[in-house]
Structure 1
């Protein structure tokens, strides 16, 4: 693994092992750390110079990690060929101990996953194949509430954001739509189609939500069947397209992140070949 800033590669992490499935960076105990999750169930913490701070193994593949007050990993046991529901567990990466009970009712496994804030608490949000969204408190590993999207079009990707001062869940769905739900109540607040070809234009490869100045936005790498991946930035207030970003050199964009570079808002994207691209979203 390599940890990057937006100017250069800064350090190499690890010495092989299971494939990296998730990474996150943040502050833990007053120092900057990087968390990594792996396909063999390994969950790790790294210091700013690449030194190993913790290494533990869950019994199942790690599907997500976060550093939000504490370093947490999410594992999932699921075989799509034989399992109807998956087993999902939360872990404290620093200690290797499980947080809360195992959750065994994600129908057809996790469909979309995001970390966010709700009511002053760090939360995990998951979707499943039954169009059900669950919200979990990271401190306890317990579910606080759930809701169904209740419409045609299964959940693809999830991201947490804010709209008019309230926490929201931004989703892409299999009917080629982008939707916004109130995270506390589950009430749908917005819905827009990716194109007039819906649902034949379905498919999203990456999603991220944040702000562009005072404007709440979502960036979507849209991957229509049989077409090229296109990155669009949406204004979540009115559904207008802020910009359409060309992929440039390299392959289709599969990962997105909103960041800041030299005081200027940027969108970073990575393809399957490891090429990192950065687009400016406005003046500094």
Structure 2
């Protein structure tokens, strides 16, 4: 990437010809062919307006055609979902309003085992990682607690991780010095780092946001692990996970709440994509702190990147946008 290259103000908001928005009855969660596209999609969030009343979980491919029948819940509305693999099979892990965590086989569209219980409030965030060679889920709840779950044994691991004083809105997993960690953002305006092996908080809370932290994602910048966070005040911040310090000034551009973040690489440059209730998505060059703009027409509550497509949750629809291969 050349620093002297002009940075266009906006990208077209039209979707590719084959990528029409999906209707509310079609889907909000992935099947095995598209799990990477929407594995961090959350169907509800703490302190956000409800976006659908159904408590069914549905599957779809990027063609826009729903696959099979909905996975019908028998409990509260699904609040958050992520995808991973268990014994080589694609699964979805969901958190619900009633405080339960459920595992679903995406291929056969059935629940695996019983509902996992332990949270005393709605499960508002979930991410998956590997701990001691075993797949685990990390969940955050409306009561500010974090729990770890052994997905093979389908049981809780240890005691709740406590420290947040308000609802957790987001969680992301990565490694720090070879150790698996989770990063959580909450309504107490803070971000916390958790060592998943010792179940201990690392360092002090990362503070700087002046409003609730809604979104967290992880990537690397100059070979160092960093977190990208978005808040209800529209600001986006970068954090050095080794030192726990903020990197540079906030990334300013959104005018309303930042609900969702995904990270990728463009021209070997670390890139973050943020979705906001201001009806825009921004693609950030993290080295330069500049962004390109996609006008979505409606607030973007969830997004992820699949191949060269950006998959966005817009109110009750899912829309797919072509993203540039270069950020020049």
Q: Pick closer, same or farther for the CA change 1:73–1:54 going to 2, 3 Å.
A: farther
Displacement, 1:235?
0.6
Aligned residue runs from structure 1 range 134-153, under 5 A? 134-138=192-196, 140=197, 142-151=199-208, 153=210
- Aligned position for 1:209: 263
SS at match of 1:107: coil
Report whether the alignment pairs 1:21 with 2:79.
Answer: yes
Alpha-carbon offset, residue 257 of structure 1:
0.5
Segment drifting more, 156-165 vs 119-128: 119-128
- Are residues 1:280 and 2:319 paired? no
Deviation at 1:130, TM superposition (A): 4.8
Q: Deviations over 1:179-212 (max 9, x none)?
A: 11111211222323424xx9xx342122222223
Structure 1 runs (4+) greater than 6 angstroms displaced:
none
Bigger proportion of residues as strand: 1
**Normalized against structure 2, the TM-score is what?**
0.70
Q: How far off is 1:172 after superposition? A: 2.1
Residues 95 and 101 of structure 2 are in contact (CA less than 8 Å); yes or no, is this contact kept in structure 1? yes
**Could you say what secondary structure the match of 2:114 adopts?**
strand
Change over 3 Å in CA distance of 1:25–1:12 after alignment to 2: farther
Alignment match of 1:62 (pick from 115, 123, 148): 123
- Does 2:245 match 1:245? no
Partner of 1:257: 304
Distance 1:19 1:4 in 2: 19
Give the Cα separation in 2 of the matches to 1:36 and 1:152: 28
Q: Cα offset for 1:75?
A: 4.4
Q: Which has the higher contact order (CA 8 A, sep 6+)?
A: 2
Aligned to 1:74: 139
Change (3 A) 1:89 1:206: same
Backbone CA RMSD of aligned residues? 2.7
CA distance in 2, matches of 1:276, 1:202: 20
CA distance in 1 between partners of 2:150 and 2:168 (Å): 20
1:270 correspondence with 2:328: no
Aligned length, in residue pairs:
260
Deviations 1:64-96 (A, max 9, x none): 233333141414252xxxxxxx34333334434
**Aligned pair partner of 1:159 in 209, 217, 228:** 217
2-side partners of 1:38 and 1:133: how far apart?
Answer: 22
SS in 2 for 1:21: strand
Deviations 1:121-166 (A, max 9, x none): 432111345544322234x461250334443623522211111122
How far apart, CA to CA, are the structure 2 residues paired with 1:31 and 1:158?
27
Which residue does 1:222 correspond to in 2?
A: 276
- From the superposition, tell whether residues 258 and 98 of structure 1 become closer, same or farther in structure 2 (CA, over 3 Å): same
Contact 2:233 2:258 in 1 (8 A): no
Q: 1:92 to 1:234 in 2, by over 3 A?
A: same
